Amino acid sequence: MTAAAGKPLAGKTMIMSGGSRGIGLEIAKRAAADGANITLIAKTDTPHPKLPGTIHTAAEELEAAGGTVLKHLGDVRIDESVAEAVRLTVERFGGIDIVVNNASAIDLSPTDMISMKKYDLMQDINCRGSFLLSKLSIPALRDSANAGRNPHILTLSPPLNLNPRWAGTALAYTIAKYGMSLTTLGLAEELKSDGIGVNSLWPRTTIATAAVQNLLGGEAMVANSRTPDIYADAAYAVITSPAAETTGNFFIDDEVLAAHGVTDLDKYRVVPGDGELQLDLFLDA
């Protein structure tokens, strides 16, 4: 199927880690609105008391938005689970055009307080999971490039910055997120001759998600945040850009939108007005 006019992702296939809720779901919904095929690799089979949505409710939303969905109840920490998701995606949809490394765990505890179990969880989901899904998708992405289908890998991770402020604030989490960003840095170089765009995207401000509400700052921080829509619109702009010319970047959401002519960001505020927004951890100088 070729992309319909004004819908560059029509008939394209996206595989995403996570996506049951929050930012990942909004990115997937933006693709679904074009008529994309979407594979969700997610663990949430039954409702969680503190987290909205399951892989099933997410699939319903994506299908309602116009997408075709393959649900893969799996775990990005398990090699065989991710390999099966990739295999089934290629089998059902004929290939993979877009990889979104969305799944991520967070714990901002200082080094002497964090458990090694939580350290390992963040490493396994954030860094290793992004590496694994990207690695296993490379053959399909090369096929996509050869077919002129504009393949991309998009990883939700911050710009690499060796200022010790961030590592000194939450070392375990910083290691895990920067591991994701190193995957972008390395794969962009490794795959540039293949015509595969490899980029990271991060928000300027905190985003109103369950993680922000439950783990970071509660209702007060949510009120000073932007909605996941800004991340989704920026992600859409990146993955619809020419892959061969758009690679190796560590994009910030509002900068992406500004480059595409969107400068009025008021609609993305949780609370309308001129109140000061909460800058994200990795961008708060």
| Residues labelled catalytic | 173
The helix/strand/coil state of 75 is: coil
Which residues are registered as beta bridge partners of 153? 99, 198
Q: Is residue 35 a contact partner of residue 13, using CB atoms and an 8 Å limit?
A: no
Query: 282 — phi, psi (to 5°)?
Result: -80, -5
Within 8 A by CB and 6+ apart from 161, the residues are: 282
Q: With CA atoms as reference, report the closest residue to 81 among 31, 112, 40, 121.
A: 40
Q: With CA atoms as reference, report the closest residue to 3 among 26, 38, 31.
A: 31
DSSP string covering 19-73:
-SSHHHHHHHHHHHTTT-EEEEEE---S--SSS---HHHHHHHHHHHT-EEEEEE
Q: Is residue 42 a contact partner of residue 32, using CB atoms and an 8 Å limit?
A: no
- The dihedral through the CA atoms of 236, 241, 247, 251 has a sign that is negative
